[in-house]
Structures are given as C-alpha cells and as structure tokens.
Amino acid sequence: MAAYVARGRTIVGVDGPEVAITDALHARHQAEVVRRIFLAESQAVWRIVRSKNTSRPVILSGVQASSLIVEAARLVDQKIRERVTRYSAVQWLWMLRRIPHHVFEGNLSTTAGYDQVLAETLTGGSPSRPSAVRLDKQGMTSFDLSRRALTELAEHCARTQFLSDLHIAHRWACKGARVEFRPDAPPRKRADDELVKSVRLYDRRTAAGEEYSGRIGTILLRESLDVASAASDHSVLHLRAISPIEISIPPEWFGAELVDPQDKILTTIRFNPEFSELSDLMTLGLIADQFQAALVFTMHAAAVYALRHRTKFMSLLTRGYQIFDRRMLAEITDSALSMAAPHIRKMLEHFRLQGGVQVLDAVKSFQGSTWPLLAGPILRFEGNKMVCLDLANASRALETVIEPSPGADARSNLRAEHFEKQVQQVLDDSDWKPLADLRELRGRTLRLADTAITDVDAVGCSEATLLLISCKSFAYRGTNDIGNHSAIRNRADDIVAAVNDWNDTIELLRNNPKGDNYDFSGYTNIVGLVCTAHLHWVPLGIATSQLSLGLFAACSISELKRWLAE
C-alpha cells in the first residue's frame, strides 16, 4: 500500500517505487525501446519464415500463416521466459503493477488488459530470490529498482507487446485474412474490407465493456466499493482491472488514532471490487474439481479477510495482490473455513480439502497459460516465508477455469435459466419494466391454435412497443481467445441461426398478436432481440443489423444494459 503524505487537510497516497518506474518508462523512452525490440524480434521471425518460403514478398493464406505464427510465438514466448529469470516472480509482479498506463495502451481499451496479463503470466515461473526483498521506511515490501532492473522491465514490456501482436495476427489468420511477413515489423493482416469492418465493429463493441463473468454463459457478479454491505459470509471477492482513478477513502478505515475524521484521504486504485455468491457457483455446477474448489474458497477467504481489515482491502484495490507471511495466509484460510456454512465445508470435503494448507497447495499448482491466455500464477513465493496472493489473477483465472464443458446437460440448462432471469432483472430495473400480466409470461410457452410457438425468455415494454428477447447462454471459450477458426465460425453460425429463427418467430407474432394464452394486440410494435451473456464475433449481416430501437439484432447483456440506461 502507498505511503500517505499530508497536504493540508488532504492526505494523498504516494508510492515512491511507482514514481520511479513511471519516470523511467516515460512515453518517449518506451517508444524507442519498443522500436528496437520489435526490429530484433521481427528479424528472428523472418528467419523462420524465410527458411520455408523463398518468394518475396511473403504473403500467405490464413491457413498457411497460422502455423508459422504459432511457431514464432512459441519461440518468442520461450525467449521471454528465459530472460525474466533474472528477477523473482514476486518482484516482477511488484514492478509490473506499477508501470504507467501508457506502456500497454493501444487503440482499443482491451489491449492494455490483455498485454498486462500476458506480461505477468510470462514471469510466473521465475525462481524465488528472498535476498532481493527489502523493507522501506514505512515497513512495506520493496525490491531493487536499479537502472538494470528498470531496463529489464522496459524491455520485458516491449517483448510482451511483440508477442501480443503475434497473437493478434493469428486471430486474423483464423478469421480468413491473409498475412504478410516482413523482416522489419510483426506480421500484418491482408484482409478484405468486409472482414476488416466486421472485426473493427466487434472490437469497438467489446471495448465498450463486457460483463466479467459473461464468458461462462451467465452473469454472477455485483459491483460495490462498499465492502461492508456487499460482502457476506458466503461471498467471493473478485477484482476487475480498470484504468487508474483517484478515490476518497473513509477516514474511519484508518482508525481515529491515525487520522482526523475531518481529513480527506485520496488514493489511486487500479482494481474494482465485485462480489459473487459461493452458493451460486456451486448450484450452477461451476465447481467441478479440486483446483476450482480451492481457488473459489481462497477468493472467499479474501472477502472475509477484507471485511475485517480495511487497509488491506485498499491494498488489493491499488495493486490487486497482498503479501502475507506464508503461515499467516494458511491461518486466514483456516479461519474462513471454520466460519463457513455447512454446505461450503461439505463441498471442500468432497474435494479432499481439509484445511488452509491443503487449499493453498491446490491453488499454487496453477501457473496460468499464455496460449490461450489464462492469468497466473495466483500464488507467488519468495523463500519459505513470504507468499503473494494475487487476487486479480485469481479473478481472471476463475472466469476461464470454470469454463462450461461443451454440449447440453443439466448444468448447462441451469446456467441458461439463470441467464434468462438475469436479463429479465435488467429489464425490470429499467423503464422497460413489463406490466404484471406481461411479466407473468416470462418462462412460459406461447401457443397459437394449440401449437407451441416459443418460450418467453425475457420481456419488456415501453408505451406501445413490446420487446421480446431470446436469451442464449453461449460460453466464450479459450479457443475463441486464440482465434480457433472452427470455434469462431461455429459460434458465429449459432448466433446467425438464432437471429434468423427469432425473426421468424417475431414475424409470426406480429401476424398473430392474439393467441391461445397471450394477447399482444395492444402493442403496435413488436420487436425481437437475441441476447448473449458475452459478445461474440459474427460476420456483417443479419446479426449485426440494427433494430428500430437502435440495438443490434444480436447483442450482449452489457450492451442491453447500456442501451436501457441511455
């Protein structure tokens, strides 16, 4: 946590190491580092390409290019992992969570988040170096910030950006774009206008913001900075990365003996707290193995701990991690276990997790992945005593490791029903809240001439306009992240088919506004919409067409929320 400096009646958090890192990685210097690293890495990739293609220029089809890009990405990945062993995994995290926002900032808001997680995950296997740990004047953990360390940090960020560009090129190739290879730059797409427009539209929509847990096919989280009211004895604490913002902290969080109640305390945070209920994760069948159970319970223990130690909670919001004595973290987990509800203890016993040490042992085995990108590790160790609990990466990892298995089963039906209720709640909380008799149709099957037409997943109305929503609990999988061609195309086909089917149903209802168990004759405009828990790429066409209301024919629940709030 930052040291706090008084400026009159205002107390401002100042982090000395962050100031030093920001000064060293200023925009002009970092741009030069990126230029130098990109040239060197581009030449290494070019040698791979030229060994298999003698013609110039080298412009390959997506299928041909994808295998070369994967080979190049593995080479760069391995090189980065070898270089980062000069510093410990804990020190790397300590430095990376203090870099200025411009280092990974791109044309899209999602670029910085992806590159940041990639940079951190690449350092997770670095060996422990307890002798490098220092304590500053405030007794807080610190590390070497010599010129060499700052140079390594700047170059690591640049190499990470190059690797990220290879990932981007692979995703383009898997969508059907040709790829051009050059000795002086990363691979570049050569795509037709329609593909470029569809991807840019998808990127803009994604950059506007998506629900954190939407990847699993439903929405679980609620946001709140008021940890006391948001967290409960059954809560799981998640951290979502945000652009740095300055907030005011309640003086009572520091104790009357430390600050005057009239003081204004300001600090900069990089993470937003959100909460889910552990029981929801269990009921929806999202906890299927020992690691998942251990991960969720570790995040639950963090929520309980945050309730009791507000200054530690602020450390999580500023850096996303908390450093503990190894024995203390096990005791915190044991304490949460002793207070856990019977059904939670039963869940842990089912996966043979009897105490804090066993829970943490199960969590520490997870190292994450860079292809597809799975944030990790969650625990980083410095010697035998120090352990860093990275709750930000735990939150990111949870969303991917609880990925539902393909195919329909009882659990997928539970998630689908849960998502339908979430969409209906969004409508109920807006100006489109349906009238009572209309609301009762949700979940029912509409019938016409003794024939079933469709089920009503979610419904809303505004004046003479009726909005009927078909909810699709499609999971967003790791294969989507790496740009797997069949996975992306199959999901796009699913969504296009869903829009076509729903349009046909809506047209039938327009032509038959009164049926056996419904009466929509009072509405002059009936609008149909397909809503997914997470945004998926689709080609330009019927799924990206805009409705009379201004929404896309297939939209995510986040887009629906933003539209309702306008």
| Own/partner pairs, 562-566, CB within 8 angstroms, 24+ separation | 562/208, 562/209, 564/426, 564/427, 564/430, 564/431, 564/432, 565/430
User: Are 235 and 344 contained in the same domain?
Assistant: yes
Bridging pattern class, strands 465-472 and 525-532 = parallel
Tens of pLDDT, residue by residue over 441-456, are 999 999 999 999 999 9
**Banded pLDDT at 461 (limits 50, 70, 90):** very high
CA separation for the pair 156, 151 (Å, rounded): 8
CA separation for the pair 208, 36 (Å, rounded): 32
Tokens of 485: 């061609």
Question: What's the domain count of the chain?
Answer: 3
CB 515 within 8 A of CB 470: no
Q: Which of 355, 371, 401 is the last residue of a domain?
A: 401
Burial letters for 295-334: b for 16+ Cβ neighbours within 10 Å, e otherwise? bbbbbbbbbbbbbeebeebbbbbbbbbbbbebeebbebbe
Backbone angles phi and psi of 249, in degrees to 5: -105, 135
pLDDT at residue 275, rounded to an integer: 83
pLDDT at residue 210, rounded to an integer: 82
pLDDT at residue 284, rounded to an integer: 84
* Adjacent-strand bridge partners of 59: 180
pTM (two decimals):
0.90
Tokens of 349: 């016993």
- pLDDT surpassing 80 at residue 212: no
- pLDDT surpassing 50 at residue 368: yes
Q: For residues 476 and 511, which has the higher predicted lDDT (pLDDT)? A: 511
pLDDT at residue 262, rounded to an integer: 64
pLDDT at residue 180, rounded to an integer: 95
User: Are 339 and 375 contained in the same domain?
Assistant: yes
Task: Categorise residue 541: left if φ over 0, alpha if ψ from -120 to 50, beta otherwise.
Answer: left
- ∠ CA 60-371-168, nearest 5°, is 45
- pLDDT surpassing 90 at residue 274: no
- pLDDT surpassing 90 at residue 434: yes
User: Are 507 and 394 contained in the same domain?
Assistant: no
DSSP string, 352-417: T--SHHHHHHHHHT---EETTEE---SEEEETTTEEEEEHHHHHHHHHHHTPPPSS--HHHHHHHH
User: Are 153 and 223 contained in the same domain?
Assistant: no
Rounded CA Rg of the chain: 26
CA separation for the pair 270, 244 (Å, rounded): 5
Tens of pLDDT, residue by residue over 52-97, are 876 778 999 998 999 999 999 999 999 999 999 999 999 999 999 9
User: Are 24 and 171 contained in the same domain?
Assistant: yes
2 in a domain, yes or no?
Answer: no
Tokens of 109: 């808001």
Tokens of 197: 């427009």
93 in a domain, yes or no?
Answer: yes
User: Are 384 and 443 contained in the same domain?
Assistant: no
1 in a domain, yes or no?
Answer: no
pLDDT at residue 222, rounded to an integer: 64
**Banded pLDDT at 223 (limits 50, 70, 90):** low
CATH code of the domain in which 425 resides = 3.40.1350
User: Are 113 and 250 contained in the same domain?
Assistant: no
Supply the angle between the helices 109-122 and 193-207 in degrees, to the nearest 10.
80
pLDDT at residue 302, rounded to an integer: 82
294 in a domain, yes or no?
Answer: yes
Of 157-171, 371-385, 420-434, minimum mean pLDDT range: 371-385
- pLDDT surpassing 90 at residue 428: yes
Q: For residues 107 and 82, which has the higher predicted lDDT (pLDDT)? A: 82
278 in a domain, yes or no?
Answer: yes
Of 9-13, 59-63, 66-70, 434-438, minimum mean pLDDT range: 9-13
User: Are 397 and 414 contained in the same domain?
Assistant: no
CB 467 within 8 A of CB 529: yes
- pLDDT surpassing 50 at residue 256: no
Of 76-85, 196-205, 297-306, 457-466, minimum mean pLDDT range: 297-306
Tens of pLDDT, residue by residue over 541-562, are 999 999 888 899 999 999 999 9
201 in a domain, yes or no?
Answer: no
- pLDDT surpassing 60 at residue 178: yes
449 in a domain, yes or no?
Answer: yes
**Banded pLDDT at 130 (limits 50, 70, 90):** confident
* Adjacent-strand bridge partners of 462: 465
CA-wise closest residue to 73 among 484, 372, 377, 486 = 372
Tens of pLDDT, residue by residue over 471-499, are 999 988 777 777 777 888 899 999 999 99
- DSSP assignment letter at 514: B
pLDDT at residue 8, rounded to an integer: 57
* Adjacent-strand bridge partners of 387: 324, 381
- Cis bond leading into 377, ω under 30°? yes
pLDDT at residue 375, rounded to an integer: 92
- pLDDT surpassing 70 at residue 5: no
User: Are 172 and 258 contained in the same domain?
Assistant: no
Count the alpha carbons within 13 Å of 178 in the hemisphere toward its beta carbon.
Answer: 10
pLDDT at residue 1, rounded to an integer: 47
pLDDT at residue 282, rounded to an integer: 84
Cβ-Cβ contacts under 8 Å for 2 (sequence gap 6 or more): 13, 14, 15, 18, 267, 268, 318
CA-wise closest residue to 460 among 525, 507, 413 = 525
Q: Which of 401, 421, 453 is the last residue of a domain?
A: 401
CA-wise closest residue to 277 among 300, 294, 293 = 300
Domain residues for 376?
212-401
7 in a domain, yes or no?
Answer: no
Of 11-15, 123-127, 522-526, minimum mean pLDDT range: 11-15
pLDDT at residue 246, rounded to an integer: 85
**Banded pLDDT at 110 (limits 50, 70, 90):** confident
Tens of pLDDT, residue by residue over 306-356, are 777 777 788 888 999 999 989 999 999 999 888 888 888 899 999 999 999
User: Are 391 and 322 contained in the same domain?
Assistant: yes
CA-wise closest residue to 468 among 429, 441, 447 = 441
**Banded pLDDT at 2 (limits 50, 70, 90):** low
Cβ-Cβ contacts under 8 Å for 480 (sequence gap 6 or more): 487, 488, 491, 536
Q: What is the mean pLDDT of residues 97-112?
A: 88
User: Are 171 and 83 contained in the same domain?
Assistant: yes
Residue 447, classified by CB atoms within 10 Å of its CB into exposed (0-12), middle (13-18) or buried (19+), is middle
CA-wise closest residue to 125 among 95, 149, 90 = 90
Q: For residues 223 and 80, which has the higher predicted lDDT (pLDDT)? A: 80
- Residue 127, classed as helix, strand or coil, is coil
CB 134 within 8 A of CB 143: yes
Count each helix (H run) and each strand (E run) in the chain, helices first.
20, 21
CB 375 within 8 A of CB 311: no
Q: For residues 222 and 477, which has the higher predicted lDDT (pLDDT)? A: 477
Write the CA distances from 72 to 66, 112, 181, 271, integer angstroms: 10, 22, 11, 33
CA separation for the pair 566, 563 (Å, rounded): 5
Q: Which of 136, 156, 191 is the last residue of a domain?
A: 191
User: Are 502 and 527 contained in the same domain?
Assistant: yes
pLDDT at residue 277, rounded to an integer: 80
**Banded pLDDT at 407 (limits 50, 70, 90):** low
Q: What is the mean pLDDT of residues 379-397?
A: 92
Write the CA distances from 167 to 68, 186, 371, integer angstroms: 12, 10, 8
Percent of the chain with pLDDT over 70: 90
pLDDT at residue 247, rounded to an integer: 82
Tens of pLDDT, residue by residue over 20-29, are 999 999 999 9
Of 69-83, 115-129, 240-254, 365-379, minimum mean pLDDT range: 240-254
* Mean pLDDT, the chain, whole residue set: 88
